[in-house]
A and B are shown apart, each in its own frame.
Chain A
Amino acid sequence: MARIFKSLQGRDRPWNAVPKPVWWLALVALALHLTLHAQHSRPGARAEALPVSPGQGVLRLLALGDPVAMNRLAMLWLQAFDYQSGVSVAFKDLDPHRLRQWLVDIIALDPRSQYPLMAASRFYADIPREDTQRILSDFVYEQFHDDPNRRWPWLGHVAIIAKHRLHDLPLALKYARAIRSEATGTAVPSWVRQMEMVFLEDMGELEQARLFIGGLLASQQVSEPEEIHFLNQRLEELEAREKEIGGKGRPVAERE
């Protein structure tokens, strides 16, 4: 470093060789520049500024033959509209249709990336706005079919959102059914497959829940003894509840 400095010193004329007006010009220009910047407010995230996605074709062109890297960069860029500290409240104003189109185009660049689905289910589907939650949940559901054994966690998350945020149990049940029927890999935990049973119970569909457990046990999708024991226990509980209420599988709402 010292050598570089010395060689630079040796090569250049001394500082005082620069005329004073040039120094003044530099100082005044710097001061004016800093003043100008001081007038500007800090840049914030602008929810309304989310543009329409240019489409997969343009994104592929911009990727310069490297869609995997483009997928990551585009996702970080999109995330910047939502994930800046202190402004997340404003993102309920994000246009959910545009957001969905961006996510569709980004995931098409690299279908193996889980990031767009994570963002859709964890960030955007959490926005307290029903249409956004529904549109993004539907995006996750649509994408789930392409790779169920890897994408089930995100559909599981939006199923929970459908139940607790949207209070739409039929929708939650639809997602849970999709997971149970399509995510058949060994890595999928059993509780995920049992979500359907929980939603059926919540809907008061006790008979269906009972049939679901019976079907699960008969299908031999369940192999762990503890799990079989647990399901048998739930089956007995359901039968007891059915006897207790007297109405075989009639939904709670109907009985009321």
Chain B
Amino acid sequence: MGVMEHRFNRLGWMTAIAWVTVLEGIRTRLVGLVVAVLGVGLTLAFFAGALAVMEVREIQVAVLGTFLRLGAVLVMALFVLNAQVRELDDKGLYLALSLPIPRAGYFFGRLMGFSMIALVVALLFTVAVLFFSPVLQGALWGVSLFFELLLIVALALLCLFTFNQVPPAFAMVMAVYILARSVIALQWVGQGPINVWLMNRFIDGLAFVLPALDRFTQSEWLVYGNGGWQDLAFVVAQGVLYLALLSAAALIDLYRKNF
């Protein structure tokens, strides 16, 4: 009974930390920013559609999807980094760690809170995309965006635990994100005339370690409607596995930290 009660308390603390994180999102007017990104994305999509002579819907949905995907990643990365820096500056982290919960409980509470915000962002953006794409393909895009944002949240937490400051942490998050999305293109370029063995092996190594984000949240699904269950299965499997890896790395950093 005592063990059960102890576990319940831990879960209660985690939920409380998650809820505080969500409140932080609401009170820092994150919703307003997300709606602004959505508005700009829709305006850009209609503008691009007005320029196009053919494939108007395809161009609109490709522009909207690309903009919202990048916008969501930037908004979430900056929000997580800022929120976590504030947590350090306001000594909220110290307060949380003084409570009878393990560091992992604090980490997963924060992760849960940020994930709920990521879910709302992904839902809002998916609704916008659905105006231009088939329902199932839009839903697949939305699920994929949610998993992509989960990885960004975990990566941002890890980078902030490592660097403690926003500029280097943000630079690292963006570097990893851009590499993860373009490493396949790098491999493709490496097979061309500038074939350097050592460089190619290095790029192969990067592709092996990084998550295959080029297979996430693809405009292709919205434009051609060719996303399927295999894509969904890959996104979920890759998302869960890499989230576990990033969480483990962040926990190693958090447990080793001397406050």
Contacts and interface: CB of A to CB of B under 8 A. Distances in A.
Interface of A: 57-58, 60-61, 63-66, 68-69, 71-73, 76, 79-80, 83, 110, 112-115, 118-119, 122
Nearest to B221: A68
Contacts of A65: 181-182, 184-185, 213-215
A76 to B, nearest CB: 5
Grouping DSSP codes into helix (H, G, I), strand (E, B) and loop, the B interface class, with mixed when no group exceeds half, is: helix
Contacts of B51: 76, 79-80, 83
A60 B183 CA distance: 10
A2 B234 CA distance: 46
Interface of B: 48, 51-55, 58-59, 62-63, 65-66, 69, 178, 181-182, 184-186, 188-189, 192, 213-215, 218-220, 223-224
Grouping DSSP codes into helix (H, G, I), strand (E, B) and loop, the A interface class, with mixed when no group exceeds half, is: helix
20 contacts: A57-B189, A60-B188, A60-B189, A61-B182, A61-B185, A64-B214, A65-B185, A65-B215, A66-B66, A66-B218, A68-B219, A69-B62, A72-B55, A72-B58, A72-B62, A73-B66, A76-B48, A76-B51, A110-B220, A115-B52
A57 B214 contact: no
Given A57-B185, A60-B189, A61-B186, A66 B53 contact: no
Contacts of B223: 68, 72
Contacts of B58: 72, 113
Given A65-B214, A68-B218, A72-B48, 11 more contacts: A60-B185, A65-B181, A65-B185, A66-B218, A69-B62, A69-B63, A73-B62, A73-B66, A79-B53, A114-B55, A115-B52
Contacts of A76: 48, 51-52, 59
Nearest to A118: B54
A76 B224 CA distance: 19
A71 B48 CA distance: 13
Contacts of A112: 224
Given A76-B48, A79-B51, A118-B53, A68 B188 contact: no
Given A65-B185, A69-B219, A114 B54 contact: yes
A66 B219 contact: yes
Nearest to B222: A68
6 closest A-B pairs by beta carbon, nearest first, are A65-B214, A57-B189, A65-B181, A60-B185, A69-B219, A69-B66
A63 B48 CA distance: 17
B181 A64 contact: yes
Nearest to B218: A66
A73 B63 contact: yes
A118 B52 CA distance: 11
Contacts of B219: 66, 68-69
A61 B190 CA distance: 11
Contacts of B54: 114-115, 118
Nearest to A112: B224
Contacts of A71: 62
Most chain B CB within 10 A, of A61, A72, A73, A110, is at A72
B65 A69 contact: yes
A119 B192 CA distance: 28
A61 B178 CA distance: 9
B155 to A, nearest CB: 16
Nearest to B226: A112
A80 B214 CA distance: 28
Contact of B182 (A64, A73, A80, A119): A64
Nearest to A123: B53
Nearest to B180: A65
A104 to B, nearest CB: 15
A80 B188 CA distance: 29
Nearest to A119: B53
Contact of A115 (B55, B69, B178, B213): B55
Most chain B CB within 10 A, of A63, A65, A112, A113, is at A65
A118 B54 CA distance: 8
A80 to B, nearest CB: 8
B206 to A, nearest CB: 13
Given A57-B185, A57-B192, A69-B219, A64 B65 contact: no
A116 to B, nearest CB: 11
Most chain B CB within 10 A, of A68, A69, A80, A110, is at A69
A72 B222 CA distance: 13
Contacts of A72: 48, 55, 58-59, 62-63, 223
